Every structure is written in C-alpha cells, then in structure tokens.
Amino acid sequence: MFVVTGGAGFVGSNVVKELNRRGHTDILVVDNLERGDKARNLADLAIADYMDKREFRQRLDSGKVGFTPTSIIHNGACSNTMETDGRYMMENNYGDSKALLHWALLHKVPMVYASSAATYGASRDFAPEPRNERPLNVYGYSKLLFDQHVRSLMPHIETPVVGLRYFNVYGPREQHKGSMMSVLHQLLDQLRSGGACRLFAGSGGYGDGEQVRDFVHVGDIVDLNLHFATGGMAKGIYNAGSGEARSFNAIAQALIRHLGGGRIEYIPFPAALQGKYQSFTQADLKTLRAAGYGKAFATLEEGIARTLAELEA
C-alpha cells in the first residue's frame, strides 16, 4: 500500500493518478476535506481508502496506525505563503511531518516529502545547503525547520528519506487552490475573463514582468516523487525544479499565443510583498543528478502545452 498525504490536493492527486496509470490502486489518501471542492480531484481516481488528516495524526501519535505501507509520499501541508498564523503553520508543516517521519523510521518505511524553494527566500544561490537558506515567511521557515530536523537525523537513518524542494509547480488539478494557484492558472483565468494578463511592474531590479522563477510541470514533480519512493536507498534533500529560470512575461506570451489573442497589463508591485518576494529562483540540480536522477525536465513551452491539452480535453 502507498500512503499519499495531501492526496486530494494538487501534487498529491497527480501522484495518485500516476500510480493508477502504473497499475496501483492500493492507496490510502490522507487529507483534509473541510474544503469539499478538493474532492473533485479524487473523483476519477481509484484508491483503497481515505482518512482525515486528524485521525491519521492521532493514529501516528498513539502508534496504532494498523498497517505498514510500502511507501509514504508526503505532500500534506499548508502551502499558503501569505498565511500569518505561525502556530497553525508550524503544527501543519512541522508537527505533522515530524510525527510521520518518526513513525516511518520506526517501521522502516521509505518516505518522500515535499519541501519548498521558499526555504531559500532571499538567497540567490539555490544549492540545497544551509548557507543558502534564508526564508522570507513562516511558510518557508516551517519547511526549513523540518529539513533541518531531517538533516539532524540523517546519520542514523537506515531507510530511504528524501525531501524534494519544489520550485514553482504548475499543471492540472490545482483549480481548487484559489489565490494560491500557479501563475499559469491565474493568468489563464485573467485572459479568459478580461482579455489581459496582469503582471507586476518592475521590482527588485527587474523590469516589468521580467521577474524570473523556475517553473516546473507537475508531471516532473510526480516522476521525482515516484522515482525516490520506489527506488533504491536514497537519503537527502534535493531541488525539484527545471533548472531554468523563465520570466512571467514568457508565461503570459505563451498563453496569449495559445488563445490567439490578449494583452499584458502591468500593475504596481504590492506593498504587502515588499521584502517577502522572490524575484529570482532557479534550481541547482547538481545534487539531484548526483543522486541518480537523470531525466530531462519539460521546458516551459512543453509544460504549458501539456497543461492546456489536459484542461481542454
């Protein structure tokens, strides 16, 4: 059995979909469906069971989970980078993850978990090393603290444990995320509703819409998760990005070409994001490649085409 936490969410549901494609249906999805629209991500998938995240945490704390899975793919988290309730963020992203990790280590179950490029924050060097970790918000800090906890245990870990630092992931099955949807989905909605993509004016030394991020298609993120969840004895924290920074203008232009029309409008940079915004990210993939993952990542244009094809199917 596979356990997929956050399995009704964006990345998690894509992981379950790919497991189904590979012939696996013995899957326990763990999530929080207080927002019931997330259930649509599970409606077309085959799973063995569903469990609320609070019940799952209670079972972990009591040591009475009731089964031993083949592998754990942990994507459950609060991913709202604008969340200011630090207590809530730390319990979700640090407390739950720590409980799951220690149970997995005790029962020798491989675990792959989602970290984040937000751990780098203000840094301009994106090698996964402590010297580069400067988170700008409590979300980034919650992910970093768990990474640090994993590192402290690493010399004693005897089973596969891999953290994947997600960069800007986009693709199908993220419509439920609202304001936390990827830039691609936000700009697509803006084009369809008003005919214009709204991008930030120049900031951080970058021109209008020329802030650059490492945008990575969710299919590549899924492949990384399953590569480490079903592979050999891997231990470490690796970047999960394409390795190529592209501008927000590039996404808008690709969408405009696809839809056959539209325009770009530049809006003032929000005061609330001053000092909290990453104007540049680009995954350093050297340690990932050294760990044996050699597949090429989709280009931005390839990933956008794949996403739109699925959304329009």
DSSP3 helix / strand / coil % (the chain, rounded to 5): 45, 20, 35
Residue 239, C-beta contacts closer than 8 angstroms, at least 6 positions apart: 117, 126, 128, 164, 165, 167, 283, 284, 285, 287, 288
Q: Which of 94, 113, 139, 166 is catalytic?
A: 139
> Active-site residue 64, yes or no?
no
Nearest to 240 by CA among 167, 148, 150, 163: 167
Q: What is the dihedral of CA 3, 9, 13, 16, to 10 degrees?
A: 0
Q: In whole angstroms, what is the distance from residue 67 CA to residue 59 CA?
A: 11
Q: In whole angstroms, what is the distance from residue 182 CA to residue 170 CA?
A: 5
Element (H, E) at 246: strand 245-247
Q: Burial code of 74-88, b = ≥16 C-beta within 10 A, e = fewer? A: bbbbbbbbebeeeee
Q: In whole angstroms, what is the distance from residue 176 CA to residue 13 CA?
A: 12
Q: Which of 177, 235, 266, 276 is catalytic?
A: 177
Show the tokens assigned to 166: 């997600």
> Active-site residue 139, yes or no?
yes
Instruction: Indicate which residues carry an active-site annotation.
Output: 139, 177
